[in-house]
Chain A
Amino acid sequence: MAVPDAHLRILSTGGGATLQDAGRHGYMRYGITPAGPMDPLAHAAANRALGNERTATAIEVSLGGISLTAEDAPLDLAVAGGSFRIDLDGRPLPTAVALTLRPGAVLTIKAGRSGAWCYLAAAGRIEVADTLGSTATHTRSGFGGLEGRALRSGDVIPIIRSQPAIGEPAQLVSPWLERPADRIRVVLGPQADFFPPSEIDAFLANPWTVTARGDRMACFLAGTKLSHAGDYNIVSDGIAMGAIQVPGDGLPIVLMADRQPTGGYPKIATVIGADLGRLAQAQAGSVLHFASVSLEQAVAARRAEREALAEPVVLTPVIRTNLSSEYLLGLNLIDGVVG
């Protein structure tokens, strides 16, 4: 096993940051939650920007934010996801950015104007032990990541790095990461027949507000309650990520990465794969509508997303339009070309 040649030290975090690869797949039949990223597209994009496998382990940062530094050697990092506030030693950076973090330099990621999750990838490999073939953290099971728990201040993450190549911060040109969250596409079912047609219409017509109760397991929605046609107890069956179950209280719950693999409420619809990330990025208080699409449309959207990810992620030098005073004072006026 290769020896880590650099480390990321967590200086502070507001909680909710975890290590995630693409998820622990293949064990749902034994009651094992897949976990993995809440926004798979952003997770893959951060990895791809550095030349990593798109499924590589990265840090998922929640609205709690995180602040970290490199130890032992410079590290190439990339951040992608929601519009968080990114700051390198006091210098504000774009929300989707790649940079070389030198030992002692401090990278800070804080909640921003929109988005609930962002991903911090490191070029090379984050070297932590796997559980059942995956490093994805599932805190309820105590699996993956560091000791099966969320990251906390003082944690040191070992990394077998690729040779740093980025240097000055560069913006990720990834227009496909800009995804409005106000219209979420769904395929109706698998238990749409537990609802009368008028309630399906209401589900699709009414606005739904994302509540603060959400976490990696589920997104809880508030709005006008839905009624079932009859019984709302079903004998447990499988739960896909994005399944929208409606329990007895009539308010939809969208089951996300940390869902249980089986469950027992009727599922009126399922969020399509391409829109899982945009739903995950909706902050509490956001209002959204569901739009019903055909299976063919859902597959086409998935294909488009896969093709976008297959393209190299383009990096362009950061255009300094939003300069902090600290940054201006520190500018070297001889080579300081402000683009």
Chain B
Amino acid sequence: MMPPAASPDRTSPRFLDAGEAALVVEFGTVVDPAINDRVLALDAALRDERPDGFCESVPTYRSLMIHYDPLVLERSRLVALVETISARASAVRAPGRIWTLPCCYDPGFAEDIAEVAEIAGLTVERVAALHRTAEYRVYMYGFAPGFAYLGGLPAELAISRRARPRPPHPQSALLIGGGLAAVATFPMPTGWYVLARTPERLFSKSRNPNFLIEGGDSLRFEAIDASTFANLDRRAAAGEIIARQTR
């Protein structure tokens, strides 16, 4: 009984309560850049407005979760505010930034690429080329600190996730699975496949800014060799930003 997918237009969002201190503003039920744009536009406007009692907002593919203090900000006022913001003609998202992340597809950095090639019926070189030449949209973070979900994976690489998680991957792994791509900052067991690694950290506790990339930004990958990786990795570890921002 999936509710019908909202079309990416100006239709009113659905308001769903997640308890008395969180409100879900749902613009749709599917992964879609236009729906995600509406989520991000509301998120940005709400954070600008920052009404008393607003705690934090969590943008996802298709909805915005607003955590609020109902003793300060009544639900009815919050809903009215969201409706006002959503109806504004100016409620469009500013274009995201474009980032180029260096990444290494050498065998030691691409632990699962041969497995992916076999499942997808492609050569290893073709898998790397397809992955490297696509442009990705950052839909949202989730799952773990600095774990970014990316859309834009070429259809030839749309393979299911593993039935059982693989042992932890190294830090800053580029992953694919279930038709999506991801960048994972921290090592962890995963059902996704590791295709490459970047020396960049999407999140660092000690760097300013802690988080490099925002939802709505675009990512491109640029292949580097292992010795370049080692050099950039040292610089990134020292707090330098390695990714290039081209917009």
Contacts and interface: CB of A to CB of B under 8 A. Distances in A.
| A, B from the same assembly | yes
Interface of A: 25-33, 131-132, 140-141, 143, 187, 189-191, 193-194, 228-231, 234-240, 242-243, 260-263, 267, 270-273, 295, 298-299, 302-303, 306
B200 interface: no
A158 B77 CA distance: 44
Nearest to B31: A235
Contacts of B142: 31, 236, 260-263
Contacts of A231: 1-2
Contact of B30 (A33, A228, A235, A261): A235
Nearest to A238: B65
B81 interface: no
B205 interface: yes
Contacts of A191: 16
> Top 10 closest A-B pairs, CB basis?
A238-B65, A270-B19, A262-B142, A190-B16, A298-B20, A240-B22, A229-B1, A31-B141, A230-B1, A240-B18
Contacts of B205: 131-132, 143
Contacts of A187: 17, 19-20
A236 B145 CA distance: 16
Contacts of A236: 60-61, 140, 142, 149
B24 to A, nearest CB: 5
Contacts of B17: 187, 189-190, 270, 295
Contacts of A306: 71
Contacts of A193: 1, 3
B29 interface: yes
13 contacts: A26-B56, A28-B67, A31-B143, A33-B145, A191-B16, A237-B24, A238-B58, A239-B18, A240-B65, A262-B58, A262-B142, A302-B20, A303-B71
Contacts of B65: 28, 237-240
A302 B65 CA distance: 20
B57 interface: yes
Given A237-B62, A260-B142, A30 B18 contact: no
Contacts, number: 140
Given A31-B142, A235-B31, A302 B21 contact: yes
A27 B17 CA distance: 21
B160 interface: no
Given A238-B24, A272-B19, A30 B3 contact: no
B105 interface: no
Nearest to B18: A240
A302 B210 CA distance: 34
Contacts of B141: 29-31, 262
Given A236-B142, A302-B20, 17 more contacts: A28-B65, A29-B215, A30-B145, A31-B142, A143-B145, A187-B17, A190-B24, A193-B1, A230-B2, A231-B2, A235-B62, A237-B65, A243-B18, A261-B58, A262-B141, A262-B143, A273-B20
A1 B233 CA distance: 33
Interface in B26-76: 26, 29-31, 43, 55-65, 67, 70-71, 75
B33 to A, nearest CB: 13
B177 interface: no
A23 to B, nearest CB: 11
Contact of A238 (B3, B63, B146, B211): B63
A235 B3 CA distance: 12
Q: Which of A26, A28, A29, A243 has the most CB of B within 10 A?
A: A29
Interface string B194-212: 0000000001010000110
B3 A295 contact: no
A263 B22 CA distance: 15
Nearest to A242: B19
